[in-house]
Structure 1
Amino acid sequence: MKSDIRIDFTKARSSEMEMHTNSRTLAWPWPGFLLMAIVALPGWLANMPTAGLAQQEEAADLFKRAQVYESEQNYAAAESIYRQVLASDPNNPEALKRLGIVEQTELKFNDSIELFKRVLREHPDYPQVNFFLGLSYYGQHDFNDAIASLEQELKTPTPHPATRYYLALALEAEGRMNDAIGQLNEIAAKNPDNANVLYELARLHMDASFRAIDRLRKLDPDSFQNHALMGELYAEEGHYEAAIGQYQAALRKQPDALGIHSPLGVAYWKLGQLGPAEKELLLALKESPDDPRANLYLGNIALHQQQFSKALPYLKRAEAGKPNDVETQLLLGRCYIGLGELQQAKAVLLHTARLDPAYPRSHYILAQVYQKLNQPADRQRELDLFNKLSSAQKADGSGDPDKELVRPQGSNP
């Protein structure tokens, strides 16, 4: 039951960081969570033999002012101060690090990565820089580099307390589920009542996690995490009305939670309630404009309404996020057919057939394209392939229902 995971970088500087998946917001309740980034400042000042006392005191005052601006979310003012420090001391590691965190919060991942790398070139173990570098790579969906940076952070003398947790999320995003569970188990052993870690364990390895789910419910049966998890479970089992109720309950607990609107919109879609589905999915795009699933279903809604020009940008963003997703490619092919761009449709559907040669529907829609192109021999070939593959799937029960084009209840096949 894999899901997309996002970081709310606007909260990465406070004493409590929040992690967001496609169906929940996870607050990380470490006391003084990111205050370690500030605690490191006196140590930096104490280890600057080349800087004069006056320069150290001036830098300390500037950092304090910048931290006030950050707490007020006035990031432009904080950035200006850090750049002022760097103008007189270009290699100041703390200024580079803090400026990188500001850039990261504003989703300027490339800039933040370059700043963190500048620190690490001179100070490979500088406190928490590998951690924040890993978060920036994560924000770029560069999970391999995120993993490498977070693993390097664990090798430093005082790694950031949440490093192992974020490493687990990066490992999950890379498909290394067993490694992710191993990291979470290490955290759970030291923090047995951490609801967020228990939640992740249950989601990653559902069949083996019933005891973890039970512990989560015992902590608080009316918690945000419990409602979000039950929403996922009900949706996974096809009980969409129950899933909607749980997602709505989760939003009542945390109205500003990221990641709930997308699965809630999908649940409405599954019940054929296209108006509420579109509303929730548009809210999901406000949280994450490139969310592949929200874009996919919004494109699907527009296709269902035969609004092909409206559907195309949604489907292209979904394709950018998941270029080898068969369902996305099929919907994109249908969209091009609706727009009359038959050569584009043919190219997309041929690519789809190569992605999964045993999947029948790509051949059925290709047959439609060839019919419109007046290529009867090609049309017949694709229909024969469709019938052959469909019969094979029915005979051995190998059809994958998750690959069927999603349709709301009550629509025509």
Structure 2
Amino acid sequence: MRVFSFLLLLAMGGVVADAAQAGVDSVAQQVQLHEQRAHQLLNETKPELAIKEFAAVLAVDPHNLDAQANLGVLLYFQKDYSAAEPHLRDAIEQKPDLTKIRALLGMCERRIGKTDAARADLQAVVDQLQEPNIRLEAGLELIEIYSASQELEKAASVVAILRQGAPTDPRVLYAAYRIYTDLAGEAMLDLSVAASDSGQMYQVMAHELVRERDTAGAIANYRKALAADPNLPGIHFELAEALHASPDLKLRAEAEEQYKLAVAVNSSDEKAVARLGDLASDKGDLDSAAAYYKQALALAPNDADAAIGLAHVYSEKNEAASAVALLEQVIAADPANVLAHYRLSTVYRKLNRPDDAKRELEAYQKYKDIKEKMRQIYKALRLGTEQDEQQDKVSK
């Protein structure tokens, strides 16, 4: 049980001995006896009886640190937060560096409505906690406090701490999604008020339309953004991406010019360089494509798009071993990269490695299905939101 591992971590051997002073042997003996019984009962997983023994310690030694801390922990995990809080508080007042106890105190305070105190205690220790589970619980509590008071930047900073230790925990990922979404919405609203006709505002609108898969609308807004401010960072690349995604062949033909403009403005734009490699590859100009991909990788050695593109060139030139090395590197960094799995499966077939090809094809299908499922979920959520908005308009 989590409570007992927590209690064992809190063991403070020697604390009781310090309390024994000359002339109070009987008190010290009583404390020692009750503590021994309490810890024995904890080993036997009998928390209710252990509570009574720790309470007996405090009856004769009111500020016994071991008893205060452990009694507070036991009462907390029994959800008796009002009773737990004063014991945890007393332990912290005696020994402020008990970070785990202070985290538990903060969570306890939140549950009894002492939000300001909870905030102070949790934010004081959340980045100091070493035990992953305690850090996670304390961090999620602090995120809820910050979110409730619309302190989104502070909430985001806690999310960053939690993601370092628990990058795949669904609770952390959901908190990240929620906070970052709220921050994006807040920033967009602020921008619409401060500069509604700015190039940045049109960029934001274009980004939203890209998410909605409204390519034509996105292109129109990127053009407005470019007209409003030709020096917007990244605007040529973003317009090129939208043009390249268009089903209109005339619009797609404009993408290459915008990618070249992006590189002309910023020679370190490896994404634009890699896209020029894609266009060259589509035309069958493998030498130019390879040159672009190598240029992109020189700028950003971990650029997955450039590595996958160069691997394709190697495969087409029958340099399969070089292609395998690049694709395996991409997959090692991002196991969910769908295109890398597909391309690697193709290369393995060329190398007459059917088992490896089958494994990569299965991985391709697995991650492709996951991404498609997520796209459908997002689409359903978006349609649901639109229907709710329409319903609200009708009701008004």
TM-score by length of 1: 0.43
TM-score by length of 2: 0.44
Computing the radius of gyration over CA atoms, which structure comes out larger, 1 or 2? 2
By percentage of residues, which structure has more helix? 2
